[in-house]
Every structure is written in structure tokens, then in C-alpha cells.
A = this chain, B = another copy of it.
Amino acid sequence: MPSQDIFKALSDPTRRRILKLLQDGSKPAGTLAEAFDMTKGSLSHHFNVLKAADLVRSERRGQQILYSLNTSVFAEVAALMFDLFKVDKKKGRKA
């Protein structure tokens, strides 16, 4: 999974809010949608982006679809951020 997908997924405030809503447990699409002033179609698009980045998982439970955080990818996200913000790679020491 390209890291670009992860950064892109995190760049939208609606998607970050979805992630936060999932922090205290998985929720069906409709329940998540209630928290937003937006059509369910639009929300479904955001779910797709989050799934493409492997940040969430989905599972059908009867008529509804349960979304949950994919916690196993968080270590990778942490590594990406760490790599981006660590300093002093002991090279030429320009400035």
C-alpha cells in the first residue's frame, strides 16, 4: 500500500473525523453518516478512500456494513511520520 494513499487519506478533515469516531469502536455506515451534514453517497466515497489506504476495514453485518479502525496499520503510519520528521542524518552538516 503506497504511503501516498495514507497521506492523501489523512488530508481531508471529514476522513480524519471518521477515524476519530471509530476510536471507541466499530460503527455502521449509517451511524457514522449521522454525524455529518453530507449525503450518504459522499460519506461512502470517504469510506472507500480510507479503505484504499488500509486505515479502516469493513464487514457486512446483516443489512448494514460495520466500519472499524485497522489498528495493525498504525505502526506503519507512525513509522512514516517518524521518518518524515526525524532530523540530523549525520551527513555534511550544512547549516
Contact = CB atoms under 8 A, between A and B. Distances in A.
Contact of A95 (B4, B66, B83, B87): B66
A89 to B, nearest CB: 5
A40 interface: no
A19 B84 CA distance: 7
**How many subunits of this chain does the assembly comprise?**
2
Interface in A17-58: 19-20, 23-27
Nearest to A91: B24
Contacts of A23: 86-89
A93 B25 contact: yes
B92 A24 contact: yes
3 tightest Cβ-Cβ pairs between the two chains A and B: A25-B94, A11-B11, A24-B91
